[in-house]
Copies of this chain bind each other. A is one copy, B any other.
Amino acid sequence: MRGYTRWVPRSKSKLGDWHEYATERLREAGYHKGGGRERVVGLLAGKSCAVSALEIDAELNGVGRATVYRALDQLEQLGLIRRIELGLDSTGFEKVGPQGHHHHHIVCSNCGKVIPFEDQPLEKAIRAIAKRSGVSLESHDVTLRGTCTGCD
């Protein structure tokens, strides 16, 4: 089938330049460099899919948990990352590319596996809804849940 759906790699990043893009945006925003925030940015740059604040904290020795939360807050406000709810108590964060490039997720309700994807008809439908509503669309989240092929 010639589908419109693109299955996004979960670990390799398509946004290879996100790291410098984010660094530049942070600098423009007047943030000082060096320290915990940069390590958070570096870690996020290496992940293409959602990571939780606690996971980041666990991977970053020497960086305080509060710093992680503060950095995520700042990055989100600059639109460099977005916050998504995949499980029921996870709250993941993942980077957003220069043109708002992002993907959505399918979550297996049995094993928790996450399948990231991009889909044009879906995006088109969403843009149409926003247009009809009169709302100027800033962001959107889509999450599908079901049993994956390995859990049938």
Contact = CB atoms under 8 A, between A and B. Distances in A.
Interface of A: 1, 3-5, 7, 83, 85, 88, 106, 108-109, 115, 117, 119, 121-122, 124-126, 128-130, 132-149, 152
B5 A129 contact: yes
Copies per assembly: 2
A144 B129 contact: yes
Nearest to A3: B132
A90 to B, nearest CB: 11
Contact of A145 (B5, B140, B149): B140
A133 B108 contact: no
B121 A133 contact: no
B121 A142 contact: no
Contacts of A83: 88
15 contacts: A1-B132, A3-B132, A5-B128, A7-B133, A83-B88, A85-B85, A106-B130, A115-B133, A117-B133, A119-B129, A126-B144, A130-B146, A134-B148, A135-B148, A140-B144
